[in-house]
Structure 1
Amino acid sequence: MAAGAPHGAGGQAGRPGGVRASLSGLTTRGRSFLAAGTAAAVCAYVLGQDQLLRVGLLLVVLPLICVLALHRTRHQVTAGRRLTPPRVPAGGEARVRLRLENVSRMPTGLLMLQDRVPYVLGPRPRFVLDRVESGGRREVSYRVRSDLRGRYPLGPLQLRLTDPFGMVELTRSFTAYDTLTVVPRTQPLPAVRMTGEAGGHGDGSRRSLALAGDDDVIPRTYRRGDDLRRVHWRSTARYGELMVRREEQPQRSKATVLLDTRYLAYEGAGPDSAFEWAVSAAASTLLHVLEQGFAARLLTDTGDTVPGAGAFAGGSSAGGPESAEAAGLMMDTLAVVGHSEGGGLGRAHDALRGGTGSGGDGLLVAFFGDLDDEQSEMAARMRQRSAAAVAFVLDPALWAGAPSRVEERLRRLRDAGWTALAVPPGAAFAELWRQAGNTPAGTWTPGGTG
């Protein structure tokens, strides 16, 4: 059974082990025919009945002919799979289309298709095709859905072939499979202006000097030590004194989204857990800042960053190809992010401290779990290199309905210049985001959780 790719993913079925392997595919009916034929032949030999011998030979030969016929024709079936879309949010549906084509000269018998899918996507889809003529095609489809984010393999496709008499049944698997990526749920966020943040591409208050380039040429008076190659002769002739070029170009605003993934910082599991809320909120924040034209990156407590160490993605134009590619990369990362075994935020602090450039790392949005005294102090120091910093704290005690010290943690963050808010169970992140935009840095409105 060969597998092609007429549309979408296809693959090559596993090679059988020969006629002996095909004999192992005899059904109960086929084995009964062989046993009855053998018994009839033995009785005919003992009793000397030629007519009974013919019947016995017929019963034995028929399943063997079916084995040989199926062995010779099973390589002439191709299949393909198309998954649309390959990336869906948690709770969303994707459609899988399977197409089977008989490229042999003989019609097939009964075909049974089964596609392997993880149990979280639902039961394994099974289809029965009565008969596929030579050159014929059949297409079937099914839907998959998951409330849990992750990356899930679809396939390989299994094809069960039978002969018209039901004597032999062979199962072969294709080798190709697709991958469905279930990303966190996101929600649109209101456009708010965080304290100290610049517009997506910068404004007059946030411009940086460039060492080279012809963008925004602004002449200034020559100073001792200036490179003579930067002399602007037209301005020199105009002003009557030596002028040099001062190239300026807008500085893209940057945003860092910090996700605390420490196992000790959260309690509970499942779609409604605090950790899943934090992952979903981080995804919403990344999409929002990319849509606003920011160059963004994702940082975790382990110090790992996406797209890479010290790099920011997107920011060329809101909604442009670069932003879309950056969003896809970060969503794929958040689809599989899990708890870390680390106990502290030191690595994330070191990654932020390593930022360079005017304005440090721009806007910092952090999602913290439980913070003890040491980690609260560490988180407070992260604010130093950021133009603006917003923290959403998901205290496990608050989510469990137990007495919480979250206000003390928030006060310490606010004293360091953070805009800090507590996240109660079931809070709407869009409302918290709006509140963060309306809350001056270093202050907090108790009870304003949306």
Structure 2
Amino acid sequence: MGPSDEPSGLRAGLRGLTTRGRSFLAAGLTAVVCSYLLGQDALLRVGVLLAALPLAAALLLANTRYRVASGRRLSPHRAVAGQEARVHLRVDNVSRVPTGLLLLEDKVPYVLGPRPRFVLDRVEPRGHREVAYRVRSDLRGRYPLGPLQLRLSDPFGMCELNRSFAASDVLTVVPQVLPLPHVRLTGEWAGQGESRTRSLATAGDDDVILREYRAGDDLRRVHWKSTARYGELMVRREEQPRRARATVLLDTREIGHRGSGPASSFEWAVACAASVAAHLLERGYQTRLLTDTGRAVPGTDDGHTAADTSGVILDALAVLELSDGAGLSRAEEPLRAGGEGLLVAVLGELDEEQTARLARLRGRTGGAVVFLLDTGTWTGLRMLAPGTGGEEFRDRARRLREAGWTVLTVAAGDSLPDLWQAADRPESSAPYREEAGA
């Protein structure tokens, strides 16, 4: 790709004169006028030389036909919040003449850092130069990079002309994904290991699905009764267990969260949802993300691989914003349509009605885990210690627990892996149990 077309000629060159070039031109014109007034021929020659130098540089630079191409490569394209990404720039001189001094400046949002600038002294014909810079953001989101701006300069620094490329790229900054321990979740039936449904193990002889023997098949799978019937080796088909389904429900209501910036309860909830979704996908669950707005990611298409689904969910979480919703009712219909499966909810502050709805919803799921955020600890209204939640908060947690939810109460500063470790122990996942029963 080449630079965009700009006006050329002496007029364009004069607009690009630097302070040095303008000073030389002004000094030259002044010397010419003084030589006329004073009758000094030597001063006239000096003035003409001073004025001619910036004019010649401007004319030469404005009419130079450099053909320059550029390319940009991101490593990685999807960065994690708080970690650096590297941007590689390549400039190719595709013309038959060497370039002069080139100044490169890539346009980046201020949250990624200052604009990177590079100076390339000379690029030979058909040659190229590569430079790189780093960007970093503590805030998730999608950030445009580019377009690349190219500044041409003459060797004397008299004139500079700007050219701009049209192409740009997008860097996606996703929430941090924490590794979670492997725990046996209540209600899981088709995920991994012992909890996987073995449909063929319980099938009778009449229900066995057979196929012809192929080289390399395990002889232990030979179905001798059918082999005798058909006169050729027949084997049982490989078991195709049904995949477990899981839904990660994320509360994005603005009224349900406290704090601001990366340290807010909402950002903790987003990182929690990302980590849980990635963990469940790794364990073989067919996982989707659902928000209180009723939007599910991915949609009804089940053709995604685990890696694709993880990328789609992380991309959606990268740009997720707080909603103006007042409750969780819009998420109930997608949950009912999804059928039974594991439900992991990450919720902010709840009122009486929302708690009652969640309690009734528990009966429609195979297993239910809720991260219940004590949002008051994100504003400093309460101490950051277990057992210090308000009375209403403890009551909400108790009611959800009585309805069958595995409740993991969360305060600011809590470790997500430590909380997840208690997900398989419903009776011990209530740090406020003693206070609530006092």
| TM-score above 0.5, yes or no | yes
Measure how far apart 1:431 and its partner are. Answer: 1.4
Measure how far apart 1:166 and its partner are. Answer: 1.2
TM-score, normalised via structure 2 length = 0.82
2:347 aligns with 368
Q: Which moved more, 1:40-49 or 1:288-297?
A: 40-49
2:233 aligns with none
- Residues 246-270 of structure 1 deviation map (CA, whole Å, 9 limit, x = unaligned): xx96321100000000000001012
Measure how far apart 1:102 and its partner are. Answer: 2.6
Q: Secondary structure at the match of 1:112?
A: strand
Measure how far apart 1:163 and its partner are. Answer: 0.4
Q: Is residue 296–residue 312 contact of structure 1 (8 Å, CA) maintained in 2?
A: no
2 CA distance for matches of 1:429 and 1:54?
Answer: 79
1:446 aligns with 2:431: yes
Q: Is residue 102–residue 121 contact of structure 2 (8 Å, CA) maintained in 1?
A: yes
2:7 aligns with 17
Measure how far apart 1:307 and its partner are. Answer: 0.8
Of Structure 1 and Structure 2, the greater helix share is in: 2
2:393 aligns with 406
**1:204–1:288: structure 2 CA closer, same or farther, 3 Å change rule?**
closer
1:432 aligns with 419
| Correspondent of 1:353 among 336, 354, 369 | 336
**1:69–1:57: structure 2 CA closer, same or farther, 3 Å change rule?**
same
2 CA distance for matches of 1:204 and 1:111?
Answer: 64
**1:160–1:100: structure 2 CA closer, same or farther, 3 Å change rule?**
same
Q: Is residue 190–residue 433 contact of structure 1 (8 Å, CA) maintained in 2?
A: yes
1 CA distance for matches of 2:301 and 2:335?
Answer: 12
Q: Which moved more, 1:377-386 or 1:255-264?
A: 377-386
Measure how far apart 1:387 and its partner are. Answer: 0.5
- Residues 392-430 of structure 1 deviation map (CA, whole Å, 9 limit, x = unaligned): 111212443435222211122122221112111111111
Measure how far apart 1:112 and its partner are. Answer: 1.9
2:117 aligns with 126
Q: Which moved more, 1:269-278 or 1:362-371?
A: 269-278
2 CA distance for matches of 1:290 and 1:130?
Answer: 50
Unaligned runs of 5+ in 1: 5-11, 210-215, 221-233, 239-247, 315-321
- For the aligned residue pairs, the C-alpha RMSD in angstroms reads 2.9
Measure how far apart 1:206 and its partner are. Answer: 4.7
TM-score, normalised via structure 1 length = 0.80
2 CA distance for matches of 1:274 and 1:361?
Answer: 29
**1:84–1:205: structure 2 CA closer, same or farther, 3 Å change rule?**
closer
1:219 aligns with 206
1:15-54 matches, within 5 Å, as 15-19=5-9, 20-45=11-36, 51-54=42-45
Q: Secondary structure at the match of 1:219?
A: helix
- Residues 57-113 of structure 1 deviation map (CA, whole Å, 9 limit, x = unaligned): 333332222122212225422222211111121111111112223333433333222
2 CA distance for matches of 1:109 and 1:249?
Answer: 66
Q: Is residue 257–residue 297 contact of structure 1 (8 Å, CA) maintained in 2?
A: yes
1 CA distance for matches of 2:429 and 2:168?
Answer: 51
2 CA distance for matches of 1:150 and 1:266?
Answer: 19
Q: Is residue 256–residue 361 contact of structure 1 (8 Å, CA) maintained in 2?
A: no
1:144-183 matches, within 5 Å, as 144-183=135-174
Measure how far apart 1:218 and its partner are. Answer: 6.3
**Number of aligned residues:** 397
- Give, as a single letter, the amino acid of the residue that structure 1 aligns with 2:169: D
2 CA distance for matches of 1:93 and 1:204?
Answer: 40
**1:374–1:94: structure 2 CA closer, same or farther, 3 Å change rule?**
same
**1:376–1:311: structure 2 CA closer, same or farther, 3 Å change rule?**
farther
Q: Secondary structure at the match of 1:192?
A: coil
Measure how far apart 1:150 and its partner are. Answer: 1.2
1:69-88 matches, within 5 Å, as 69-73=60-64, 75-88=66-79
2 CA distance for matches of 1:159 and 1:63?
Answer: 21
Q: Is residue 368–residue 392 contact of structure 1 (8 Å, CA) maintained in 2?
A: yes
2 CA distance for matches of 1:439 and 1:78?
Answer: 61
Q: Is residue 12–residue 62 contact of structure 2 (8 Å, CA) maintained in 1?
A: no
| Correspondent of 2:358 among 379, 383, 407 | 379
1:200 aligns with 2:191: yes
1:290 aligns with 281
| Correspondent of 1:307 among 272, 289, 298 | 298
**1:444–1:44: structure 2 CA closer, same or farther, 3 Å change rule?**
closer
1 CA distance for matches of 2:138 and 2:65?
Answer: 38
1:57-76 matches, within 5 Å, as 57-73=48-64, 75-76=66-67
2 CA distance for matches of 1:398 and 1:342?
Answer: 22
1:184 aligns with 175
1:417 aligns with 2:404: yes
Identity across the alignment (%): 58
- Give, as a single letter, the amino acid of the residue that structure 2 aligns with 1:108: T
**1:123–1:203: structure 2 CA closer, same or farther, 3 Å change rule?**
same
- Give, as a single letter, the amino acid of the residue that structure 2 aligns with 1:118: P
- Residues 360-396 of structure 1 deviation map (CA, whole Å, 9 limit, x = unaligned): 2410000000001011112223323210010111121
2:234 aligns with none
Q: Which moved more, 1:341-350 or 1:137-146?
A: 137-146
Measure how far apart 1:53 and its partner are. Answer: 4.2
- Give, as a single letter, the amino acid of the residue that structure 1 aligns with 2:431: P
- Residues 320-361 of structure 1 deviation map (CA, whole Å, 9 limit, x = unaligned): xx1111111111111111100111101011221222xxxx24
**1:141–1:249: structure 2 CA closer, same or farther, 3 Å change rule?**
closer
Unaligned runs of 5+ in 2: 208-224, 230-238, 383-388, 434-438
Q: Secondary structure at the match of 1:160?
A: strand
2 CA distance for matches of 1:112 and 1:252?
Answer: 56
1:218-257 matches, within 5 Å, as 219=206, 250-257=241-248
- Give, as a single letter, the amino acid of the residue that structure 2 aligns with 1:338: E
Q: Is residue 393–residue 422 contact of structure 1 (8 Å, CA) maintained in 2?
A: yes
1 CA distance for matches of 2:357 and 2:373?
Answer: 17
